[in-house]
A = this chain, B = another copy of it.
Amino acid sequence: MAHQITRDDCRARDADDPLARLRERFDLPQGVIYLDGNSLGARPRAALERAQQVVAQEWGQGLIRSWNTAGWFALPGRLGDRIAPLIGARDGEVVVTDTTSLNLFKALAGALAMQEQRDPARRVIVTERSNFPTDIYMAEGLTRWLDRGWRLHLVDNPDELDEAVNSDCAVLMLTHVNYRTGYQHDMAAVTALAHQHGALALWDLAHSAGAVPVDLHAAQADFAVGCTYKYLNGGPGAPAFIWVPQQHQAAFAHPLSGWWGHARPFDMAPAFSPADGIVRALCGTQPVLSLALVECGLEIFEETSMQALRTKSLALTDLFIELVESRCGGHPLGLVTPREHARRGSQVSFTHPHGFGVMQSLIERGVIGDYREPHIMRFGFTPLYTSYADVWDAVEQLRDILDRGDYRIDAERGAVT
């Protein structure tokens, strides 16, 4: 680089940033640079008042009547319709409910059942060994219990998909952006590969929804699930979402047939009959308070666009990579995240032989990222509330820690999804 970037340059970019005003929508702790919104998004300011309203008014005063009067029944679909534009889905195709793990279970079960009808010889589910583990565990649980010869085929890197997706493949199940590396699949191309071989494509958008532009319909994806408490800022453990496109809804079936997925739940009939549309993806009664707060995060997305967010996200991750490489150059850091924009999510991961200890020191200094085995320091960039100066300051702390060797090499490990 001819010109070495300074903190003032970063501040100048913040001054010009059309998204900078959105930081005010969040309550962030003083003295913290939060680079872990890919694990748990920050709190929208509106969430506190909304929580009070749900607890004091809707629950306390409305009591059971609030199922109708406060719109609790409509919440899973109403929130789903607000997520839809962020992921290229349509109205009536998404519900917010249960957990990502459970929604993956439902979507995979539905996909397997569709394939069993179409072409029962296909018995392989292809995924990546580096997929988020719970996705693999849920697929394992489902297939082991079905006990009808379904097999999981785990590829070690995306290049192997070409060979693994063949005429035995029933479902290609991938996480769009890898939780550890930040690698982003080409959803349209990979889905086309699946379809070319007769497989269905199921996408986990946990690290994509609200992080990168997603267009499920343009990619012709078959099923998708995702998380609301990461980039969508829905609150700790807030219910997840499931997308079933309209053309698959009539055929969509899954084993978790609870009352809320019933065609006529209040007839109290002793036999299950699935509701029309996406409602059949619902199962039991949902945690209303956690569910309601998801809306506060989604409202903020309506003040901008995924394209604007993506532009800033790439600028932030480019800046971070550039500053780490230029300012911490003498240290054994290895960039894990793709440099290629199209293959990058909204995070940057670096390895360091003492990555866990270094991350602990960063956190003690108020720079909150997280750590993932093996040796990976993970930094999430959330354009809604991360500034260019934050990036500078975070790298400056990292540089200082590394230069001083100010980290423990024997720190105890622990981490959170």
Contacts and interface: CB of A to CB of B under 8 A. Distances in A.
Interface in A29-85: 29, 32, 34, 36, 39-40, 42-43, 47-48, 51-52, 54-56, 58-61, 63-68, 72
Interface residues on A, range: 35 or more
Instruction: Give the most central of A63, A130, A271, A293: most B CB within 10 Å.
Output: A63
B64 A40 contact: yes
A340 interface: no
Contacts of A293: 55, 289
Interface stretch (A162-170, A212-220, A233-241, A399-407): A233-241
A119 interface: no
Nearest to A97: B99
Interface in A225-245: 229, 235-240
Nearest to A240: B284
Given A99-B283, A373-B267, A27 B272 contact: no
Interface string A117-141: 0000000000001110110111011
Interface in A251-272: 254-259, 262, 265-272
A368 B63 contact: yes
A407 to B, nearest CB: 18
Contacts of A3: none
List the number of copies, as a whole number: 2
Contacts of A54: 236
Contact of A142 (B64, B99, B129, B255): B255
Nearest to A239: B287
Instruction: Give the most central of A105, A137, A415: most B CB within 10 Å.
Output: A137
B140 A64 contact: no
A63 B48 contact: no
A288 interface: yes
Contacts of A100: 284-285
A246 interface: no
B290 A289 contact: yes
A414 interface: yes
A101 B254 CA distance: 14
A134 B258 contact: yes
Interface in A174-226: 180
A309 to B, nearest CB: 20
A321 interface: no
Interface string A288-301: 11110100000000
Give 3 closest A-B pairs by Cβ, nearest first. A99-B284, A287-B290, A101-B284
10 contacts: A29-B60, A55-B293, A63-B368, A66-B236, A98-B284, A101-B258, A101-B259, A101-B284, A144-B255, A288-B290
